Amino acid sequence: MKTILVVDDEPTIRMLVAASLDGGAYHLLEAGDGYEALELVRREQPDLVLLDIAIPGLDGFEVCRRVKTEISPHVPVLLLTGFAQQTHRERSREVGADGFIAKPFSPAALVTLIECTLAGTPVASA
């Protein structure tokens, strides 16, 4: 079973992601801030990280950069943001994110993105 780390400071969003992934199919880890997220990536070595950008502590960009450069360049990281600006999209590419999804998102599209990323199939960011 694949492990997915969901990082968002909004519990409702974490619950929505969990509900979208239909329980049982994945092992889910949750973090509410950047430091906790890094700690979990190190300790639990998840198969994928779904990372909100506006989180307390270190922001999503910085967490992504550290995961890619300091922990494991191969762990896919998908960035999640409520700021749908072009600069955020560019910034997420710069820090090495594998995908970018803007809020509000469709649960089905999120699941597709996660499945494709885990399978190594390239997919257009939702």
Q: Count residues contacting other proteins (CB under 8 A)?
A: 28
- What kind and span of H or E run contains 39? helix 34-44
Q: If 0-12 CB within 10 Å is exposed, 13-18 middle and 19+ buried, where does residue 122 land? A: exposed
Instruction: List C-alpha distances in Å: 107 to 13, 59, 99, 126.
Output: 11, 23, 15, 11
Applying CB under 8 A, which of residues 19, 25, 44, 90 lies at the interface with other proteins? 19
Applying CB under 8 A, which of residues 45, 93, 94, 107 lies at the interface with other proteins? 107
Give the DSSP letter of residue 14: H
Shortest spacing between CB 59 and other proteins, in angstroms: 13
Q: Distance between CA atoms of 51 and 38, rounded to whole angstroms?
A: 11
Of 21 and 68, nearer to other proteins (C-beta) is 21
Two tokens, residue 39: 């700690």
Instruction: List C-alpha distances in Å: 104 to 13, 52, 95.
Output: 10, 12, 22
Instruction: Map the footprint of other proteins across residues 49-78, applying CB under 8 A.
Output: 54, 56-57
Applying CB under 8 A, which of residues 104, 119, 122, 124 lies at the interface with other proteins? 104
| Binding status of residue 25 toward other proteins by CB under 8 A | no
Shortest spacing between CB 75 and other proteins, in angstroms: 22
Question: Which positions lie near other proteins, rule CB under 8 A?
Answer: 9-13, 15-16, 19-20, 22, 31-33, 36, 54, 56-57, 81-85, 103-108
